[in-house]
Amino acid sequence: MPETEPISVHPELETADRELTPRQIVAELDKYIIGQDDAKKSVAIALRNRWRRLNAPEDMRDEIMPNNIIMIGPTGVGKTEIARRLARLANAPFIKVEATKFTEVGYVGRDVESMIRDLVDLAVTHEKEAQAERVVEKAQERAEERLLDVLLGTEKQQRPTLGSGFNLPSPSEGDGAGHESDDLRARTRERFRTMLRDGELNGREVEIDVFQSQSPTLQMFGPMGLEEMGINLQDMLGNLGGQRRKKRRVKVDEALELLVQEEAQKLIDHEAAKTEAIRRVEQAGIVFIDEIDKVAGRTTAKTGGPDVSREGVQRDLLPIVEGSSVMTKHGVVKTDHILFVASGAFHSAKPSDLIPELQGRFPIRVELNSLTEDDFYQILTIPKNALLKQYKALFDSEGVEVNFTDEAVREIAHIAALVNADVENIGARRLHTVLTTLLEEILFELPDGLDATTIEIDEAYVNERLDSIVKNHDLSQYIL
C-alpha cells in the first residue's frame, strides 16, 4: 500500500483516521474481516467524510450530516466486527446496543436516550484513562515519595515494621541529640529509593492509607427521565458520604501501584475530561444498533394499539438519529453528527417496513453476503486474530507447538459450511463450535497426559473426531 503524505487536519479531529484514505481504511479492515467489500467501502467513505466535514468551510460544517448506514445480512458474517474495527481505526467513542432492549417512552424499560448516556460514560472513562497515561510519570514520582515516607517512618511520625530480617536505620545514628543529620537522612532516603526501584523491597509488607469511595448502591428505573434522575441522585448521595481513607497492609510493589493510581487521579482534570469526552462523542461518536429488523414491524389491527417495543421504539429513535440534545449527568450532548450504523438479518421484515422517517435517516444500505466454504478457510488462516492463530497461542502457553495441515483446515471449513447448511446458518461463529469439539480432548489432556512437544492436526484426525457427529443430524444439532 503506497504511503501518503501527511495531511493537515482540523484541530477538532484528533483521531487515527487523519491520514487514512478510504482505500487505506479498507486495507486495515481486510486484516481482520474476510470479504464484505461493499460494506467495508461504505463505512470507509463514512469515516473519511468526517475528516472532510471538519475541514470544510466553517459556515457549511454544521450543515453536513453523517451518512448513516444499514447493514443487511445474516448473523455471523461480520457486521458487528466491521463497526467495532472502524471505531478502533478512528479512535472514536463506540457503543453497541440491541434495538430489542428498548421500549417506548412511558413504559417500564430502557429508553433510547440511554444509548447516548452510556456512550458518554464510556467516553469519559476513556478520556480519564488517557489523561492518567499522560501523567503517569509524575504520578510515579509522587507515589514513590509517599512510599519512601512510609518506609522511613516520616509519614505521621511513625516508624514502620517491614517484617523480620529487615532493619531500618536507627534514629540515634546521627548527632548526639538523637536526631539524624540532614545528610544522613538524605543518604538513607536515596539508598531506599535505589532498593525500591531495583525491586529489593518487593514482597515486604507495609501499611498505607488509601481513599475508599463511600458511594451508596442506588439505581432508579422508571418512565421518562427517571433513569437519568436516578443516576444524578446516586452521584449526589455518593458525594455526601465523601471519600474516606482506609489503612491497608499490602506488599511494597502493590502499595506502589495503588499510590500511583491515587496520585494519577489527583492529577487528572476531571472537568476537562468530561468536556473533551462530550466533544469527541459529538464529533466522532459511533453507535451500532443491532437487530433493528426486530423493531421494524408496523402496528396492525390485531394488536389493538401501539406495540411499545417496535414502532414506538422507532419513533423514539428518530429524533436521536436525526439530531437532538440529550441530557446526561456529564452535560448536554448533541447527536447531530454521531454516526449511526444499524444492522439486521431482515429475514421476516424488510428495511421498507421501518417507518418512512427513520428510513430516510439511513440513506446507505449495504447487503452482506453469506459466508462460503472458501470464506471459512480464509477466516481460519488470514486475519491477524484468526482462530487457528488463537489456538496456537493457547498451545504455546503449555509449551506445545500445534500445526494444522492445509487439508485439515479445508476439512474444518467444509464441515462448518455443511453444518450451517443443514442445521442453522450462524456464519463464522460455527467455526468456534467445530474447533472446540475438535480440540476438546487434546486441550483436556495437555497439562497432564501428553508428553509431546509438537502436535499435528491432519485431515484424518479431523474426520475421526467430527465425521460421526456431522453425519448424525440429531447429534450435530446439539454439539455443533
* Backbone φ, ψ for residue 45 (5° rounding): -65, -40
Model confidence band, residue 247 (pLDDT cutoffs 50, 70, 90): confident
Model confidence band, residue 126 (pLDDT cutoffs 50, 70, 90): very high
Q: With both helix axes pointing from N to C terminus, report the angle between 226-241 and 114-134 in degrees, rounded to the nearest 10.
A: 40
> Is 279's pLDDT higher than 90?
yes
> Is 124's pLDDT higher than 90?
yes
Please tell me whether residue 89 adopts helix, strand or coil conformation.
helix
Q: What whole-number percentage of the chain has pLDDT above 70?
A: 78
Q: What pLDDT does residue 176 have?
A: 47
Q: What pLDDT does residue 76 have?
A: 86
pTM for the structure as a whole: 0.75
Q: How far apart are CA 165 and CA 173, in angstroms?
A: 19
Do 476 and 419 form a contact (C-beta atoms < 8 A)?
Answer: yes
Q: How far apart are CA 362 and CA 67, in angstroms?
A: 7
Q: What pLDDT does residue 412 have?
A: 92
Written as one string, the DSSP assignment of 150-203 is HHTT-GGG------TT--PPPTTSSSTTS---HHHHHHHHHHHHHHHHTTTTTT
Q: Which CATH number, 3.30.470.30, 3.60.20.10, 1.10.8.60, 2.60.120.620, labels domain 373-475?
A: 1.10.8.60
Q: What pLDDT does residue 29 have?
A: 92
Q: What pLDDT does residue 480 have?
A: 67
Indicate the range of 54-63, 294-303, 406-415, 423-432 predicted with least confidence: 294-303
Summarised one tens digit per residue, pLDDT across range 66-115 is 889 999 988 888 888 898 898 888 888 999 988 888 876 656 667 888 99
Residue whose C-alpha cell reads 515494621 in the numeric block: 161
Q: Residue ranges of the alpha helices (H) in 198-251?
A: 226-241
pLDDT (average), residues 36-49 = 90
Q: How far apart are CA 201 and CA 189, in angstroms?
A: 13
> Is 262's pLDDT higher than 50?
yes
Q: How far apart are CA 354 and CA 74, in angstroms?
A: 18
Summarised one tens digit per residue, pLDDT across range 6-19 is 333 334 444 444 56
Indicate the range of 9-18, 131-140, 174-183 predicted with least confidence: 9-18
Q: What pLDDT does residue 209 have?
A: 76
Burial 249-270 (b: 16+ CB within 10 A, else e): eeebeebbebbbebbbeeebee
Indicate the range of 22-31, 93-102, 208-217 predicted with least confidence: 208-217
Mean pLDDT of the chain: 79
Model confidence band, residue 196 (pLDDT cutoffs 50, 70, 90): confident
Summarised one tens digit per residue, pLDDT across range 354-397 is 888 888 899 999 999 888 999 999 999 999 889 999 999 999 98
Summarised one tens digit per residue, pLDDT across range 455-479 is 899 999 999 888 878 877 666 667 7
Q: What pLDDT does residue 155 have?
A: 53
* Residue range 16-127+279-367, CATH number: 3.40.50.300
pLDDT (average), residues 118-143 = 89
pLDDT (average), residues 410-430 = 88
Comparison of pLDDT for 38 and 177, the residue scoring more:
38
pLDDT (average), residues 254-265 = 84
